[in-house]
Chain A
């Protein structure tokens, strides 16, 4: 049952991803990407990552994609440009390269995980039971990964300042 649902959402994600890259209108592309992100959020829920799924909806689909749409509309690009998609030669090249990539990535999904690094089955589930959905992510975040976490905040600050500097006409 779970597997079926999983595949349904997976197919939605892949299909809307394909539509995203093939639509001529950037707004259409962006909206299809939003669909992909929602589908991915559903996949996250199925993979026991409810907190991440919520973040996915809030941050990605909510904030980042709105930013994209906002810029598209700000620049008045809401219609297909004449040279937006490469010609037949580009299409051929992209298909060949993408196909080759997929071919190369395929064995990764089937390779078994090394036994040494695997946790005993149910460890993650137990952890989530004990600490709750948020707590099980928050504990390592504020413990093992505290320094990267702080650095990430500095990065975001730098990004904010950088964006303001770049986007403003005159300081």
Chain B
């Protein structure tokens, strides 16, 4: 059975994604790390679909749709931010704090 190794690989990939988000400041790279996490989850879905039914594979499909939408909107946001700040570094994105 490939379930255990698949889950282990998935866990490692997910952790790598989290670590990347924590480590990086470049918004685009952080985005890629999020994609990495999504893919880790996809792997879990596919692995479990083998024993729990094909609903898992359908869900991967939905995850991809959401990821595509997210990438389109997210990258557009980054583009818009870059236009304002000439930077995509999170260090410069601190408008959440008043003043």
Residues in chain A within 8 A of chain B (CB atoms): 2-3, 6-7, 10, 13-14, 17-18, 20-22, 26, 29-30, 33, 36-37, 40, 43-44, 46-49, 51-52, 55-56, 59-60, 63-64, 67-68, 71-72, 74-75, 77, 81, 83-86, 90-91, 93-95, 97-98, 101-102, 105-106, 108-110, 113, 117-119, 121, 123-124, 127, 136-137, 140-141, 144-145, 148-149, 152, 155-156, 158-160, 162-167, 169
A141/B26 in contact, CB under 8 A: no
The 7 A-B residue pairs with the shortest CB-CB distance, nearest first, are A21-B20, A159-B69, A109-B7, A98-B19, A166-B76, A94-B22, A163-B76
* Interface of chain B residues 1 through 53 with chain A (CB within 8 A): 2-9, 11-20, 22-26, 28-29, 31-33, 35-36, 39, 42-43, 46-53
- A95-B19, A159-B72 in contact; A6/B5 too (CB < 8 A)? yes
Label chain A's interface by main secondary structure: helix
B58/A140 in contact, CB under 8 A: yes
B22/A77 in contact, CB under 8 A: no
- CB-CB < 8 A to A160: which residues of B? 72
Q: How many A-B contacts at CB < 8 Å in the complex?
A: 237
Task: Pick the residue among B33, B48, B57, B83 that contacts A52 (CB under 8 A).
Answer: B57
The range of chain B's interface size is 35 or more
Question: When chains A and B are docked, how far (Å) is the Cα of A148 from the Cα of B71?
Answer: 20
A83/B25 in contact, CB under 8 A: yes
A55/B64 in contact, CB under 8 A: yes
B61/A52 in contact, CB under 8 A: yes
A63/B68 in contact, CB under 8 A: yes
B53/A124 in contact, CB under 8 A: yes
Residue of A nearest to B2 (CB): A6
- A10-B9, A93-B22 in contact; A163/B66 too (CB < 8 A)? no
- CB-CB < 8 A to A98: which residues of B? 15-16, 18-19, 22
A2/B2 in contact, CB under 8 A: yes
B62/A152 in contact, CB under 8 A: yes
